[in-house]
């Protein structure tokens, strides 16, 4: 393994998380919900078009600034290894069913599939559609295959906001912030009842 990493011999490639999921991938301003590509950010001099404050420059823009200007976008050396850019399974499940990644429903579905196939990589890269449909819904099986083919768009993360997979037919992943907003709307007596003391009996 060490030799493969150092020399590239017998190395197929790498498996990577889709970079758009990162919470500082794109340039933007969280408070104004402004998210810009490197080119669009430069057009406004990295100033928020809504409130005129400085934008938080994203990783994508910083990489472009450091890149060789003579290389075209998407340049790939002849001897470059393959790579797979994937969305994690838990994100796919949450986005399809409209749940939070850390919810019990997502946890149960995730571990049911892991138990059946042995690892997340087997699910995301190898399992066939009939095999997947033996353990989960046809909709999730289709989403897993689309992910494998790199056909799921991801709304990029910016200024501390995580990216969001735009799963076809999905209800959208519920963020931790949205969960907190929902809890705030529920009366405290309903969501966190005070423990009774001995005098209450």
pLDDT of 186 > 90? The answer is no
Q: How is residue 5 annotated by DSSP?
A: H
- Mean pLDDT over residues 91-106, rounded? 94
3-state helix, strand, coil in the chain (%, to 5): 45, 15, 40
The whole-number pLDDT of residue 182 equals 42
> Does residue 199 or residue 99 have the better pLDDT?
99
The whole-number pLDDT of residue 187 equals 52
pLDDT of 119 > 90? The answer is yes
pLDDT of 115 > 70? The answer is yes
When computed from its CA atoms, the radius of gyration of the chain, rounded to whole angstroms, is 22
pLDDT of 139 > 50? The answer is yes
pLDDT tens-digit profile of 73-91? 778 878 778 888 999 999 9
pLDDT tens-digit profile of 15-50? 899 999 999 999 999 999 999 999 999 999 999 999
Can you give the pTM of this predicted structure?
0.77
The set of residues, in sequence order, having a beta carbon less than 8 Å from that of 60 and lying 6+ positions away, is: 19, 25, 26, 27, 37, 38, 156
The set of residues, in sequence order, having a beta carbon less than 8 Å from that of 58 and lying 6+ positions away, is: 24, 25, 26, 27, 28, 38, 41, 156, 158, 159
* Rounded CA separation 138/130 (Å): 9
Phi-psi region of 34 (alpha: psi -120 to 50; beta: other; left: phi over 0): beta
Q: Are 95 and 173 a contacting pair, CB within 8 Å?
A: yes
Q: Are 108 and 114 a contacting pair, CB within 8 Å?
A: no
- Mean pLDDT over residues 182-195, rounded? 47
């Amino acid at each position: 393994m060490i030799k493969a990493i150092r020399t590239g011999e017998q190395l197929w490639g790498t498996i990577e998380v889709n970079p758009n999921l990162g919470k500082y991938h794109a340039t933007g301003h969280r408070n104004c919900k402004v998210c810009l590509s490197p080119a669009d950010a430069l057009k406004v001099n990295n100033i928020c078009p809504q409130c005129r404050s400085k934008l938080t420059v994203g990783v994508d823009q910083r990489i472009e600034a450091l890149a060789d200007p003579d290389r075209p976008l998407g340049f790939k050396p002849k001897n470059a290894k393959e790579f797979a850019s994937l969305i994690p399974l838990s994100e796919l499940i949450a986005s399809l069913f409209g749940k939070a990644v850390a919810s019990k429903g997502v946890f149960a579905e995730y571990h049911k599939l892991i138990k059946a196939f042995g690892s997340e990589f087997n699910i995301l890269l190898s399992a066939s559609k009939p095999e997947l449909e033996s353990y989960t819904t046809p909709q999730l099986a289709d989403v897993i295959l689309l992910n494998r083919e790199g056909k799921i768009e991801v709304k990029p993360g910016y200024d501390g906001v995580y990216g969001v997979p735009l799963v076809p037919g999905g209800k959208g992943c519920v963020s931790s912030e949205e969960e907190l907003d929902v809890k705030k709307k529920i009366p405290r007596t309903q969501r966190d009842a005070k423990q009774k003391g001995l005098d209450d009996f």
